[in-house]
Amino acid sequence: MLSVVQALNARLQAALERAFPEASAQARAADSPLDLQLGPASKPEFGDFQANGALGLARPLGQPPRRIAEAIVAALATDPAFNALCQPAAIAGPGFINLTLKPELLAAQVRERLGDPRLGVEPATIPSGDSPGPVIVDFSSPNIAKEMHVGHLRSTIIGDCLARVLEFRGHRVLRLNHVGDWGTQFGMLITHLKQVAPEALNTADAVDLGDLVAFYREAKQRFDSDEVFQSSSREEVVKLQGGDPISLKAWGLLCDQSRREFQKIYDRLNIQLSERGESFYNPRLQAVVADLDKSGLLVSDDGARCVFLEGVTGKEGKPMPLIVQKSDGGFNYATTDLAAIRYRLGPDGDGAGRVIYVTDAGQASHFAAVFQVAERAGWRPAAVSLEHVPFGLVQGADGKKLKTRAGDTVRLRDLLDEAVERAEADLRRRLQEEERTETESFIQEVATTVGLGAVKYADLSTNRITNYQFSFDRMLALQGNTAPYLLYAVVRIQGIARKGGDLVAFPDQLLFNEPQEWALVRQLLQFDAVIAEVEADLLPNRLCNYLFELSQIFNRFYDQVPVLKAEEPARSSRLALCRLSADTLRLGLGLLGIPSLERM
């Protein structure tokens, strides 16, 4: 309904200018046009929209707010374009203007969306001229030689959802997996590999990831306790960075085996990523140093080369440094992230139009520093945004960071396995209670969809900025703000079709009379506005909340208003609402990365 909002805004602005032409002209000349602040009505009894700007205009116009509102309403009454959209405007309180859309307009909006694969969501406006750069979404980012754990869950799921929404809006999205595949830790890993599993250098599958994780721990133990091993590991880093072929082969083996295991998780979650690890930027680190030096930002401090941050001070009140090159000549994460930004924004790189980093909130200060340096170095074009999308921790029932009973980090594949197993057990129990017989393939499909969908939805439905407590019982419940509840609403609508309801053909004119119908109509028509909000604010929980409210409103409509037993034209019109509800839920769930089901 964004197009209707835009039209209403235009009519309100025209009415304001007719009612107060001199003040409007002066405000435009000062580049601060008068604004009537159109927004959704705070309560249904106030209509669809409210314009509350009369209160703020009292001083510049020198009149009481209610008199301003009366003048604007009088101007609206003579506007044919406004009268085609709304019923006569009403004034409430000290000067609020309440607007109620005409029923025939709402019904026509519903009819337009039936069969529209975009459900009224217009593609993003792409500037004319040169092809715009991609939107880069940097997410997931596990480390080589380590298994993906619950700490990667939020980055992976949130990043995928944001990429889906941006792609749906029509943006060219580059999904980047900034894998930790370079650094000093590979010195100890390669040294350990050469000593304890030399056959791995000749046999690609000599070690699997399960062994590799334990292998990493063993290497770390040796590095911490054995000075000779430490020395060999440091020499191995030099060899690797110098391009020694055996060292590079060992490094490639470790990366490939980790990559294969990561891909199993991504395939299971239906997540697409393009890997571009830290190693990609390694040849570009010296250019970062040279560029910062040339711009006059680089300062030597105790042998290290750094950029002192503006507006960020330490305990003694001195500016905090961002170290770009360590005193031993080595580089760090900040250098790699600066190289990534420089490449992603540069004309010889990605030439991105927007760059989004999805990481935990603990990295907020790091990215603020890196973004500031990139800004001061002149790497960010004026129209391009660098955005950190922070998220909180996944907690256990005790409110602490989610761990296993043994105190270890929860492996992501174990968490997903348990979600599917619990969903399957619940499904088998319900089938037994209902004395239903279903095929094994049906049970596995439903259990997998519900289990994985529940994990995704529990994460996405929480405001990403906050921590959330992980609970299988809560996320798998058939009631409440959960994936199973939404999936069941789609299944319920499909049941209407199985009972003989035509969810394909509809009359040109839809007629609605019941308040439950109008409540559902208004909720359905908000879909495009919600998608626009998620695109701008990067908060997936807004979409989740919308879909949950839609499911609740649909269930009330279906429980309180007859559909299949209704007479025409009410029957066809109500079936149209069922169809549009199902399409909206399917599309919305799909943007969350959750497939829908025909039956449960």
Question: Domains along the chain?
Answer: 2-101 (3.30.1360.70), 135-179+280-395 (3.40.50.620), 185-270 (no CATH), 478-600 (1.10.730.10)
The Cα-based distances of 72 to 110, 300, 410, 470, 578 in angstroms read 30, 64, 61, 52, 39
Helices (H), 226-321: 227-241, 245-269, 278-281, 285-294
User: Cα separation of 51 and 40, whole Å?
Assistant: 9
Q: Are strands 96-99 and 354-360 parallel, antiparallel or unpaired?
A: unpaired
Nearest to 181 by CA among 248, 242, 244: 248
Sheet with 38-40, strands from edge to edge, namely 38-40, 49-51, 96-99, 90-92
Residue 128 has pLDDT above 60, yes or no: no
Output the CA torsion sign for 496, 497, 498, 499.
positive
Half-sphere exposure of 234 (CA within 13 A, CB side): 8
Confidence of residue 204 (pLDDT cuts 50, 70, 90): low
Beta strand 354-360 with 135-138 is parallel
Backbone angles phi, psi at 144, to 5 degrees: -60, 145
Element (DSSP H or E) covering residue 313:
strand 304-313
Quick one: tokens of 510? 């839809």
> Is a pLDDT exceeding 90 seen at residue 113?
yes
User: Residue range 462-474: average pLDDT?
Assistant: 92
Long-range contacts of 109-118 (CB under 8 A, 24+ apart): 109/1, 109/4, 109/525, 110/510, 110/521, 110/524, 110/525, 110/576, 110/577, 110/580, 111/506, 111/508, 111/509, 111/510, 111/576, 113/524, 113/525, 113/580, 113/583, 114/506, 114/576, 114/579, 114/580
pTM summary value: 0.92
Q: What is the pLDDT of residue 127?
A: 61
> Is the alpha carbon torsion for 17, 23, 28, 34 positive or negative?
negative
Is-contact 90 47, C-beta < 8 A?
yes
Taking only the tens place, the pLDDT of each residue in 328-375 is 888 889 999 999 999 999 989 999 999 999 999 999 999 999 999 999
Q: Share the mean pLDDT of the chain.
A: 91
Question: Residue 116 — pLDDT band, cuts 50, 70, 90?
Answer: very high
Longest dimension (CA), the chain: 90
Compute how many other C-beta atoms are within 10 angstroms of the C-beta atom of residue 511: 15
190/131 Cα distance (integer angstroms): 44
Query: What pLDDT, on the 0 to 100 scale, is given for residue 401?
Result: 83
Distance CA 288, CA 483 (A): 45
CA dihedral sign, ordered 50, 121, 456, 536? negative
| 20-29, 78-87, 283-292: segment of lowest average pLDDT | 20-29
> Which two three-digit tokens encode residue 21?
């032409």
Write the pLDDT tens digit of every residue in 560-572.
Answer: 999 999 999 999 9
Query: How far is 50 from 38, CA to CA, in rounded Å?
Result: 6
Q: How far apart are the C-alpha atoms of 398 and 401, rounded to whole Å? A: 8
| pLDDT digits 0-9 by tens, 365-419 | 999 999 999 999 999 998 899 999 999 998 888 888 887 766 677 889 999 999 9
- pLDDT score recorded for residue 205: 62
CA distance linking residue 158 with residue 459, whole number of Å? 8
Write the Ramachandran bin of 22: left for phi over 0, alpha for psi from -120 to 50, otherwise beta.
alpha
E strand spans, 44-95: 49-51, 90-92
Beta-carbon count within 10 A of 56 CB: 16
Element (H, E) at 8: helix 2-19
Q: In angstroms, rounded to a whole number, what is the distance separating the alpha carbons of residues 79 and 461?
A: 42
Length of the chain: 600
Q: What's at 537, amino acid-wise?
A: D
pLDDT at 41 over 70: yes
Q: How far is CA 3 from CA 6, 522, 568, in A?
A: 5, 14, 31
Phi-psi category of residue 552: left, alpha or beta, with phi > 0 → left and psi -120 to 50 → alpha: alpha
Give the ranges where 299-404 is alpha helix by DSSP (H): 333-345, 364-376
Rounded distance between C-alpha atoms, residue 148 and residue 410, angstroms: 9
pLDDT value, residue 480: 93
- Please give the full DSSP string across 425-465, using - where no structure is assigned: HHHHHHHHHHT----HHHHHHHHHHHHHHHHHHHHHTS-TT
Q: Can you give the pLDDT at residue 267?
A: 96
Q: How far is CA 115 from the centre of its chain?
A: 26
Higher pLDDT, 408 or 267: 267
Q: What is the distance between the alpha carbons of residues 535 and 356, in angstroms, rounded to a whole number?
A: 11
pLDDT in tens, 131-155: 678 999 999 999 888 888 888 999 9
DSSP sequence for 388-414: EEEE--EE-TTSSB-B-TTSPBPBHHH
